Structure 1
Amino acid sequence: MMTATDDPNAWIPQALSEARFGKYLDAHGGDVDAAFHMYVWTVSVGGAFYPLLHFAEITLRNALHSALVAEFGREDWWTVAPLTDYSQNLVKKAQEKISGSATPPNPNQVVAKLTLGFWVSLLSDTYDRALWVPALHRAFPGYKGRRDRLHAELEALRDLRNRVMHFSPLKGRDLRADHAAIYRLYGYLSAGLSAAMRKIDQVPNVLWQR
């Protein structure tokens, strides 16, 4: 006889919480088994995408930081760059996250704490003349297109990254296009990055298993 603990309709929603699992249930008309299958698949896909997104984010961050250091002649370029109040507030929040030290945070610590949203925002219309034209275009030696198109691509990748990190449903996304977009970014940033990442890339295998 099946007990409550054996019945997936009882334990799965409770174990995963309504906030997390409810959106999967909604997407599958309340079918717990189908929703759980999609949840497990989403976790698997996220695990495969994670290293690709990790290296994309770190490489992007460091490339933008290096370009701005070269432009302003100092590691803490945000103290002199023409940042908006919104961007300055994100820098302040990053500094506040660095605790446990009697000394002010050093620039490398601040850079590591700044969000992907902050870095992507530096490529928005707001900073076209202030940052893109004099400095940030140099962060993308493999890119020859318009800044606004690059910004749109990075916003799409930021959305994917946030969905992966928060285990949000990926149904409806063109994950093969997302995968290709990551490799385009690699090509914009570094000639050797794409080849290195293909050696560890598990995304095609996971997508094939769907």
Structure 2
Amino acid sequence: MHPPSSEFEQIISKPRLDSYRAYWKVDPDGAVGLYIWNGEVCAEVSKLLAYFEIALRNNIHREMSLATPLPTPAGVMGTSASSAWWNASSIGAQLKPGTKKKITDVINASSVRLGPDEIVSRLSFGFWPNVLAWIAKSRTPAMYKILPGHSLSQPGALPNWSDAAARNSALAEIFEMKEVRNRIAHLEPLWKFPKVMDAVTQKVIVAPASTNETSTMDRFARLLRIYDDAVHALSPALSSYMKAASWRQRLDFLLSRKGVARYQGGLHVPNGSPLGTRALHQEFATVILNNRPVKIHDVGGEGLFIPL
């Protein structure tokens, strides 16, 4: 069992736990379990977002480098899959001061000279959706290579990236993931979703704010759909891998009714003595029914079996 609510309140604060009690309609101990559940969900979503961030920045960096001739060491103009494209006069004059400052800050923070790849790797997640929005508007043809799997990038697609409304709607979903990343970084309840307005008119509600468990799960399902679509747009191969990854399967469990019930009931903490492998085999149906991890052991040592 997790720590009792009376002790946990001293760590987390009573108002924070009370928000869980009111929203999920649970007792104090159930609120503690759901607080821990939210942390687990955030951890798994963070893993997914990390892969998305890396793929997004690398696709942008590669395509902007290849599309921007810069002087080579030999003094002639050339292209490379990794160059300081932000130094090109045609780009530097168009980038916002805040964008250029973030690059400068990374360079100045290092005691050694950084190459383009190193600079790119040290820029924050929030940097890239803003740059992508600038590319979409100012260098639209590059979007077809940065997001080759996107529906707007397909041959003969109508609408495509040249359509401002379709472009803005597509970018809005990228910015939704940026907002999720920010909420995780600030330790906010990930299950408390704000409403989403239409990216073009800002007058139509695309997704209502979550108000209970059902609407929260609906919004999580929408978030995962947006994530899957965005990763597929960057790389269909990566998308297939991510859907099959163990952490994605664990996230799917956490967002199931059974996953929520495990944490709400404090069943995420193993209880009792370790089971031998034979006993686990004999009691497997009961372990699954109890919806609780169990310790196991054999001649090789101890481990943990977590039913999904």
Please state which structure has a larger fraction of its residues in helix.
1
Gaps of at least 5 residues in structure 1 are 1-5
Quickly say closer, same or farther: Cα 1:196–1:34, change in 2 above 3 A: same
Please name the residue that 1:185 is paired with: 230
Q: How many angstroms apart in 1 are the aligned matches of 2:190 and 2:43?
A: 13
Contact in 1 for aligned 2:129/2:174 (Cα 8 Å): yes
Q: Are 1:139 and 2:146 an aligned pair?
A: yes
Which amino acid is the alignment partner of residue 121 of structure 2?
Answer: A
1:22, CA displacement in angstroms?
4.2
Contact in 2 for aligned 1:46/1:165 (Cα 8 Å): no
Once the two structures are superposed, the pairs formed by residues 93-112 of structure 1 within 5 Å of their partners are: 93-97=105-109, 99=110, 101=111, 103-112=112-121
Q: 2:54 aligns with which of 27, 45, 58?
A: 58
Q: Are 1:151 and 2:171 an aligned pair?
A: yes
Q: How many angstroms apart in 1 are the aligned matches of 2:137 and 2:255?
A: 41
1:94, CA displacement in angstroms?
2.5
Please name the residue that 2:181 is paired with: 161
Aligned-residue RMSD, C-alpha? 2.4
Kindly indicate whether structure 1 or structure 2 has the higher relative contact order, using CA contacts under 8 Å at least 6 residues apart: 1
| Deviating 4+ runs (over 6 angstroms) | none
Q: How many angstroms apart in 2 are the aligned matches of 1:53 and 1:39?
A: 21
Q: Once the two structures are aligned, what percentage of the paired residues are identical?
A: 23
Which amino acid is the alignment partner of residue 106 of structure 2?
Answer: A
Which amino acid is the alignment partner of residue 18 of structure 2?
Answer: L
Q: How many angstroms apart in 2 are the aligned matches of 1:93 and 1:13?
A: 40
Quickly say closer, same or farther: Cα 1:206–1:7, change in 2 above 3 A: closer
Relative to the length of structure 2, the TM-score reads 0.58
**Count of residues in correspondence between the two structures:** 196
Gaps of at least 5 residues in structure 2 are 71-82, 153-159, 161-165, 194-218, 261-308
